[in-house]
Chains A and B, each alone.
Chain A
Amino acid sequence: MPDLTRFAFIGGIYSNYWALRATLDDIDRRGVDLTHFLGDLGAFGPHPDRVPELLIERGIRGIQGNYEESLSTRATDCHCGYTDPRDNHYAQISYDYTFGKTSDRLKDWMGTLPGTIRLTAGDRRILLVHGSPRKINEFLWRSTSPAPFLEKLCDDYQTDVIICTHTGLHWHKPLSRNRHVINAGVIGRPANDGGRNVWYTLVEIEGSRVNVEFVPVIYEHEKLAGEMRAEHLPEEFIETVMTGWWTTCLEVLPPKERMAGRF
């Protein structure tokens, strides 16, 4: 009988240490074997040192997102991958704030994180990436990531399971031969669905069987919003925390995902 392994994957955290605490508490209650973060620890939220400090204190491993790559190389922007001027305007406000408030010690620590991690469980090979296996800031949306394209990524990168984040929206696509692509979502901000909760992902593997569960996390979002206001972060960001609807970085959304949101 093959052993069962339970993984927890935490997508973009965006400085939301209130949600990170609630997520880690939830993971503790569920008897998870291994927890990983998938990058983009900063952006959007307040006090960007608090998330990395908490991850280091708890001994949680993970990979770089475009934020960690940019901060550790002292780049002038987040390389989020947006093309629209309004998207870029708000992305720059986030990045400038996060850059200014992240200590040099933690920026250097971010530079030591790997870009990808490979794991195995049962007979499955697992690849953790931030955006996609081929690019740290590539957006893998559900409605623009068809099966033939994802099958090719699994072939090219010799893996059975790809775990990614970066888009902010969670989804799972089962492929041929028990292969899977899973976007773990983010705990940094809600999933543009009018709910104030955020999402992390549990993956259970036994032999070649892969079971995926998206877990909603309720956290003290009003405290987060209060701190964002005290830090003079844009009112648009606070509105997202308080309502569950995205107000910025919308132009990058494909039509299906855009249609589902309020703005």
Chain B
Amino acid sequence: MSEHPFVPLAALDTLWFQVAGTLCNIECTHCFISSSPRNRSHGMLSLADIEGRLAEARQLGVREYYFTGGEPFMNREMLPILEATLRQGPATVLTNGMLLTPATCGRLKDLFDASEYSLDLRVSLDGFDRATHDAIRGQGVWDKVMIGLRNLAAVGLNPVITVTAAAEGIESADGRTRFLEIIRSFGFEKPRLKVLSLFRIGAEEKRSRAYESWEHLTSSNMPEGDASVLQCSSCRMVTSKGVYVCPILIEEPEAKMGETLGETLRPFPLKFGACHTCWVDGVSCRT
């Protein structure tokens, strides 16, 4: 059996924060970290935590910051956290869109305007309509997201809508065109769309299936590809438990690389099933 290939960290460009831990107000059937209202595997990060990490990141020349969860806006310090981050660099928040009240959207627009750096939002939708979407994300979620999107449109913020491959047909050219029209119908004149791969871990492992033994990379079975597009060649993920290699593998104890960012600048072995998806699909968690 040949060894797993290692990916060096070319540069720490992207720093992720598991800002709401694994706590979420919904429980999607495809969630690769099984976030839910009860999952406290990783805890919330505080403003003080983030400020400490920003100081570390400044020394390392980090280019951009991403916030995910769980649901980031369940963190009561989310807006001050964004304000602090945007003083140092661009920030992107991955949200389910359900907590985007008029007041929060107004504050986000103020932050967008005040910073010299970009503030971006990514809102998840998982179907072309209420029925298919709610089958994955939960009863009544579509309607709440629609309110959040309307509030964003009202203040002039233009999020990226992210759709996973669980939305049937989204990966075809026709599916994309249809979805762009749907986004336009929500009031966004410049529709933005990103299609995401599914990872067969967490809840998704039960919804579809687990990775099979052949879906693991070794030096001998590795298809040709470009390691520089892999997240792990340019990112690390901060959670309440320490610093992990990437946003996907936070439930793998072996993916924790250290306590400080400086300890995690070494190469990482592509030994997990999810690594196979990243390599084969060319997945980038970046926008």
Contact = CB atoms under 8 A, between A and B. Distances in A.
Q: Do A and B come from one complex?
A: yes
Interface of A: 83, 85, 134, 141-146, 148-149, 151-153, 155, 250-251, 254-259, 263
B176 A85 contact: yes
Contacts of B10: 134
Nearest to B284: A83
Contacts of A151: 61
Contact of B116 (A143, A149, A258, A259): A143
Q: Is the interface of A mostly helix, strand, loop or mixed?
A: helix
B57 interface: yes
A148 B62 contact: yes
Contacts of A83: 284
Nearest to B59: A148
13 contacts: A141-B118, A142-B116, A143-B90, A143-B118, A146-B63, A146-B117, A148-B59, A148-B61, A250-B190, A251-B192, A254-B90, A256-B117, A263-B190
B13 interface: yes
Contacts of A134: 10-11
Interface of B is mostly: loop
Contacts, number: 62
Contact of B63 (A144, A155, A256, A259): A144
B89 A254 contact: no
A236 to B, nearest CB: 15
Contacts of A149: 13, 61-63, 89
B206 interface: no
Interface of B: 10-11, 13, 57-64, 88-90, 112, 116-120, 156, 158, 173, 176, 190, 192, 284
A144 B64 contact: yes
A144 B115 CA distance: 11
Nearest to B121: A255
Contact of A258 (B57, B62, B158): B158
Nearest to B228: A135
Given A134-B11, A255-B119, A148 B58 contact: yes
A134 B63 CA distance: 14
B117 A144 contact: yes
A152 B61 contact: yes
3 A-B pairs with the lowest CB-CB distances in the bound complex, closest first: A152-B61, A146-B89, A143-B118
A85 B193 CA distance: 10
A255 B158 contact: yes
Most buried by A among B10, B57, B116: B116
Contacts of B176: 85
A81 to B, nearest CB: 11
A149 B10 CA distance: 14
B90 A144 contact: yes
A50 to B, nearest CB: 34
Nearest to A145: B63
A255 B112 contact: yes
Contact of A259 (B11, B59, B88, B158): B158
Nearest to B116: A143
